[in-house]
Amino acid sequence: MIFQIDNKNIHASDAGQGVDPKKDTIIFLHGSGLSHIVWSLTEQFFSNKNFNVLSIDLPGHGQSDGPCLESIEKISDWLEGVFNFLDLNDLILVGHSQGCLEILEYSHKFKNRVKKSVFVGGSDKMPVHPDLINLAQNGDSDAVKLMMKWGYEGSKKFIGGNPVEKIIQSPRDISEILAVDLVACNNYSNGSEAAKNIGFPTLLIFGEFDKMVNLDAGKKFSNLIDNSITHVIKGCGHMIMIEKAFEMREKILEFLKS
């Protein structure tokens, strides 16, 4: 699905089904430097379970026009514009990594539009190592290598190469997309306050061996959110929706049916 707001194209993958007003809508929000592609093992599954699915490319990512938005706050306002344009309510927000910060800030500002939320590899704050930011701002491919080193449990298991490297392909992708996202994550400071005010049912999914959001940080995050449940996926790193997509989506479905 491609639509326009303020003369800019916005892309949201909908599993080829469009939006049925009679169904609940799941919104998938990707992490730093990525796109809707990371949800490819998840979209069709939920579409087949009688949900609308929309995997949104943020501005400047995937097939959406740029430039990228430089703060989590601006992204949350942009998302409200998208949902208002599409006339979507009672949303189920599913975010990974940076997408979790976007859920927090969006819910803080526009709580009445959200029905449930799912945080995948997320926390209330996501500081980024200055070395990684510097590499990314310089368009250095080592930035992506560092992400993989810190983010994956057993990345060598991916047949045909690392999927993230297929999305972040060029120095421009690194400096103009990934770097902007990393700075936005690093600068976001409203997460803990936003988490305390969520209120609606929430599922938090963590990877056992996630180096970006370790289990101690995840536990502290989950304790901030009332009416939340937590699931830890064993043998998994940060890129849960790629590493352990089948277990992740079954746990989300179980949560949505409860």
Give the domains, in start order, of the chain with CATH numbers: 2-125+190-257 (3.40.50.1820)
Residue-level pLDDT at 67: 95
Give the orientation angle of helix 40-47 with respect to helix 245-257, to 10 degrees.
30
- What is the total residue count of the chain? 258
**What pLDDT shows up at residue 161?**
60
pLDDT of residue 146: 82
**Interatomic CA distance for residues 96 and 72, integer angstroms:** 14
Per-residue tens of pLDDT for the chain, all 258 residues = 999 999 999 999 998 888 998 899 999 999 999 999 999 889 999 999 999 999 999 999 999 998 999 999 999 999 999 999 999 999 999 999 999 999 999 999 999 999 999 999 999 999 999 999 999 999 999 898 888 777 665 545 555 566 677 788 899 999 999 999 999 999 999 999 999 999 899 999 999 999 889 999 999 999 999 989 999 999 888 989 988 999 999 999 999 998
Supply the pLDDT for residue 217.
92
CA distance 30 to 239: 11
The secondary structure of the chain in percent helix, strand, coil, rounded to multiples of 5, reads 45, 15, 35
Q: At what angle do helices 142-151 and 130-137 cross, to 10 degrees?
A: 140
pLDDT at 157: 57
Q: How far apart are CA 69 and CA 44, in angstroms?
A: 28
